[in-house]
Structure 1
């Protein structure tokens, strides 16, 4: 196993290979300014996997046996920053505007569907679930589901478990926290999501720039702080695909630094700088 201070001889060719892998696997566009960041992030993976050089590590990553490590490479060069009820105005809108309509649909025998399109370790999807339970307390007994997806299987597993550092759950409103969070007796310092709310989210691995095995459409999609890594072409294609996956009148929530530039082509109308509604 290489020592922590070893120099892996990172070359321009190595960086170009990482760029090609990132684009092919996840549509991620890495500018030249990210060259040093890529070295910093991936040198840790090389040390952990025991490969003697960037070249040998990348040779492994592109093989069939390296599929899981490709996931880890993508995760390493992106930033999985998330928290419960992040960008709270989105959850207020979900609570006050979207979920009352879903409640009416459910009462009439219809269904409700929400999607956290880049759920990372699951806090966003669980925040959606808690907001849902606040408006529709009997949601688990109705045709209501929340899909949480991410390209990285490790973070998806964390979301599925619903176990987090206790201090990270402080952003959950106290009334919701009292209902749905308990200390994990098996892991000191950790707490877990508990109760019938666990019936709402379903967590799966999904590459947003690959095929989507999704048949039903959504009342609302959260896809926040993801397209900042994509090229303009990839970004515009994703917005269109997400809009097509909404029911008429459904909502798309994006990150605070993101914008849907070609709204007409996506059949979307901006309700605010980060909330878009599908026409019809």
Structure 2
């Protein structure tokens, strides 16, 4: 149990995720393979290793193993449909008049969410790559980001992708039956980047839409409130924040937004917004 609390403390410090003692069996089962691969027999030795200067790479492996990455194309499809109907006309008009539009998929896991966002925008504006439009897709887990950037998915992951979009924007993998590769039109719209939501954010220009679903739910109450507030602050006035089905904004974030639809919030108009003097995306 002492080793579990050490691991829980590291996960809280590095990723903001709180582990209760009820997660002990899960932690044991997911980390047992890491101990075997390192030739370690005791969890105390594993804790010593990840807390040492030599264990930085293994710390990332531990975060990858212990963070849950469950997603699929068009998960909670009502969010994408509401976005398409009620926000995208404004964003498309802004692009066509020479404006800049930025969307952030925060906690993108294996990439289905940002690719779904790309499909949704391409549906309304097939030539969107000609305009100043980008999707930032971020996650704390470098391994899952590599998987997302590879853009390879089985048939079951694409079950909710309409057949015309599948045929146009995905390519069948010749030597892997039942596997599809994301095509270049979607790839051109997305930048994948490792980012820790409780760490520093390397950008200062605001977003028009932020989708952060089923990520903050794993944080403690104080960390949740801080992350929600930071996300809202990173929106343009009038920008949208879309959260998971069981997540609700709290405190300052709730006061700074209005609820438009199921877990879909709009930042209230204000006299100031995030500075626009630099960007990394």
TM-score normalised over the length of structure 2: 0.91
Moved more, 235-244 or 102-111: 102-111
SS of structure 2 residue aligned to 1:14: helix
Work out whether 1:233 is the aligned partner of 2:232.
Answer: no
Distance 2:75 2:172 in 1: 22
Q: In the alignment, is the contact (CA less than 8 A) between 2:228 and 2:250 conserved in 1?
A: no
Superposition map of 1:146-157 within 5 A: 146-157=135-146
Tell me, in whole angstroms, the C-alpha distance in 1 between the residues paired with 2:254 and 2:172.
Answer: 48
Alignment match, 1:92: 81
Deviation at 1:114, TM superposition (A): 0.6
- 1:111 aligns with one of 72, 86, 100: 100
1:79 maps to 2:68:
yes
* 1:22-33 correspondence runs (5 A): 22-33=11-22
Q: Which moved more, 1:54-63 or 1:204-213?
A: 54-63
Q: Distance in 1 between matches of 2:148 and 2:202?
A: 20
Q: Report Cα offsets for 1:60-116 as digits up to 9, x if no partner.
A: 212333223212212322221000010001100121122211111111111111110
2:124 to 135, 144, 158: 135
| Cα distance, 1:264 vs structure 2 | 5.7
Contact 1:71 1:152 in 2 (8 A): yes
Q: Is the 8 A contact 2:172 2:181 kept in 1?
A: yes
How far apart in 1 are the matches of 2:35 and 2:176? 30
How far apart, in 1, do the equivalents of 2:175 and 2:52 lie? 38
Q: Tell me whether 1:224 sits opposite 2:204 in the alignment.
A: no
Structure 1: 4+ residue segments shifted above 6 A? none
Separation in 2, partners of 1:234, 1:83: 26
What's the C-alpha RMSD, in Å, of the aligned pairs?
A: 1.5
1:108-157 CA-partner distances (Å, limit 9, x unpaired):
11111111000000000000000010111111111000010000001101
Tell me which residue corresponds to 2:155: 166
Instruction: Please report the TM-score for the alignment, with normalisation by the length of structure 1.
Output: 0.92
Tell me by how many angstroms 1:265 deviates.
5.7
Matched residue of 1:113: which SS? strand
Distance in 2 between the 1:266 and 1:75 partners?
34
1:213 partnered with 2:202: yes
Where 1:252 maps in the other structure, the secondary structure is strand
Unaligned runs of 5+ in 2: 270-281
Q: 1:50 and 1:132 mapped to 2: Cα distance?
A: 48
* Structure 1, unpaired ranges of 5+: 1-11
Instruction: Single out whichever of 201-210 and 264-273 deviates more from structure 2.
Output: 264-273
Q: Does structure 2 retain, via aligned residues, the 8 Å contact 1:22–1:28?
A: yes
- What is the CA deviation profile of residues 14-58 of structure 1, one whole-angstrom value per residue up to 9, with x for unaligned ones? 011011101110011112222222212212322233222111112
* Number of the residue aligned with 1:4: none
Offset at residue 213 of structure 1 (A): 0.3
Q: CA deviation at 1:186?
A: 4.1
SS at match of 2:118: helix
Query: In the TM superposition, what whole-angstrom CA distance separates every residue of 1:172-230 from its partner, at most 9, and x where no partner exists?
Result: 12221121011112434321011322210110111010000012211111111111210
Correspondence for 1:249? 238
Contact 1:268 1:277 in 2 (8 A): yes
Q: Does 1:43 align with 2:32?
A: yes
User: Paired residues, what number?
Assistant: 269
What's the secondary structure of 1:271's corresponding residue?
A: strand
**Is contact 1:148-1:203 (8 Å) kept?**
yes
